[in-house]
Every structure is written in structure tokens, then in C-alpha cells.
Amino acid sequence: MRQTVRVTDDATQSTPTPELSDADRGATPGPERADLPPADLLQVAQETEQHVAADGWGQRERVFALVPTADLVAAEPSLADALAGAGRYSSIEQELPEGVELGEYLGRLAWPRSVTGCALAVERLRAAPAAEGETAGEASDAASGGGAGDTASGTGTEPVRLLVVATREGERFTLVRFAAHDSDDAVAVGAEVGTDLQAALGTTLEG
């Protein structure tokens, strides 16, 4: 469970997101995935991603601190009952200032040492997969970002949501939810997706 501060202003970014590899696309956690992050870290990431997903599409960026649940309960004993079933880590949503660009916000953000890691939820548009019967030219336009003004129901682009995670110990990974496959069991896990955002989050944990 998480302590959250609701963000009500909606703003969807519309820059392309990196493509997933075949190994990461549609991958679900399992014992055969040796490249997955530690289970307790993956758990809080999945819980946070599902928490964001419950509010639907068309959201602005959302930022979370990841802290040890035991430390959170020690600091706020009143949360003990609410966090009784929580995992090793809990996420605490931060309120983003109005009118501040994400890059500017992350550039001046510095987490205290009590924060183990952080997560960023952000929506992007990607070239939609070639539809059956689509011409080679149309598929090429989509792959190169053509038709960026199209909606998810059109032929050019489709929304994806990234939940990017970074920790002080150097863990970096991203959960990816596709609007076209909007279910918890279809969320992919990838280490090489959103690496620029992973690096930006890592910088906020330095010092």
C-alpha cells in the first residue's frame, strides 16, 4: 500500500518511446527471467504501476519515492495497520509543481538518504504496429513517427505508459503498458527501455 498525494492536472507527452526487444515485449515476471530486478523491488514497481493505471490514460507525469516499509512505519506509526500487508518497499507519491517541465523538475530534485529509489510514470506515443493489409509505405511512416497527430484509434500512433525505476544501488528498469493491451498481465519489463529517463532519475539519487 502507498501513501499518495493526488495529481489532478492532466498532460500527456507525445514523444516517441524506444521499441522493446522481443525478449521484453509482453514479458511477464517468472523464474526463467534471470534479467529481472530483485523481487521486492519489482513488487513495489508493479504495485505503483497498477496504482497509476487505475486512473486511466491521459495523465501527466507522476513521481514516487521508494522507501523501506519498515522505515516508513517507524516514522509514521499511524500507518502500521494500513501497511501491514505491504512488501519490503512502499512508494510515496510526490506532488509535482504546476507549470514546471519534467526535465526542470528532475534537474533540481535531490532525494534524502532515507529514500532508497524513485519511480517516474510517464505517457508516450509510439508508432503503432502495422495493421493487417497496411501498405509498406504506411508502416514506414508509422515507424518513423509519421501521423503523430493520430489517436490510438487511428493508424499512426498508440499510447504507452512507462514506469521508470532507479535505485541508489544502481538498479535500473522500466515497466511498459501498451494502451492496446491494457491489462496487468501484459505489462512488459525491460532494462533497456527509457534509459534516458533511468539516467535522469539516477542523478536525483546522487549525493
More confidently predicted of 88 and 1: 88
Residue 135 has a pLDDT of 35
d(CA 169, CA 197): 17
Q: What is the pLDDT of residues 18-58, one digit of tens each?
A: 444 444 444 444 444 567 899 999 999 999 999 999 999 99
* Residues 6 or more apart in contact with residue 128 via CB below 8 angstroms: 142, 150, 152, 154, 155, 156, 157, 158, 180
pLDDT greater than 60 at residue 128: yes
Q: Residues in the chain, how many?
A: 207
Residue 130 has a pLDDT of 63
Q: What is the pLDDT of residues 138-175, one digit of tens each?
A: 333 333 333 333 434 455 889 999 999 999 999 999 99
Q: What is the pLDDT of residues 167-205, one digit of tens each?
A: 999 999 999 999 999 999 999 999 999 999 999 999 999
Please report, for the chain, the start and end positions of each structural domain, with discontinuous segments joined by +: 39-127+157-205
pLDDT greater than 50 at residue 127: yes
pLDDT greater than 70 at residue 124: yes
d(CA 82, CA 78): 8
pTM more than 0.85: no
Share of the chain above pLDDT 90, in %: 56
Residue 166 has a pLDDT of 98
Residue 9 has a pLDDT of 32
Residue 198 has a pLDDT of 97
* Residues 6 or more apart in contact with residue 18 via CB below 8 angstroms: 192, 193, 194, 195
Cell numbers given for 11 = 498532460
* Residues 6 or more apart in contact with residue 15 via CB below 8 angstroms: 124, 125
Residue 173 has a pLDDT of 97
As a whole number, mean pLDDT of residues 75-85 equals 85
Cell numbers given for 128 = 503503432
Residue 155 has a pLDDT of 58
d(CA 186, CA 194): 18
Query: Which residues does residue 119 pair with via DSSP β-bridges, in sequence order?
Result: 64, 165
**Binning pLDDT at 50, 70 and 90, where does residue 76 land?**
confident
d(CA 47, CA 49): 6
Question: Do residues 118 and 65 lie in contact, with contact meaning Cβ atoms separated by under 8 Å?
Answer: yes
Secondary structure E strands in the chain: 62-68, 89-94, 117-127, 157-167, 172-178, 188-190
Cα distances (angstroms) measured from residue 101 to each of 3, 18, 61 = 24, 21, 10
Q: Give SS3 for 130.
A: coil
* Average pLDDT over all residues of the chain: 78
Residue 104 has a pLDDT of 94
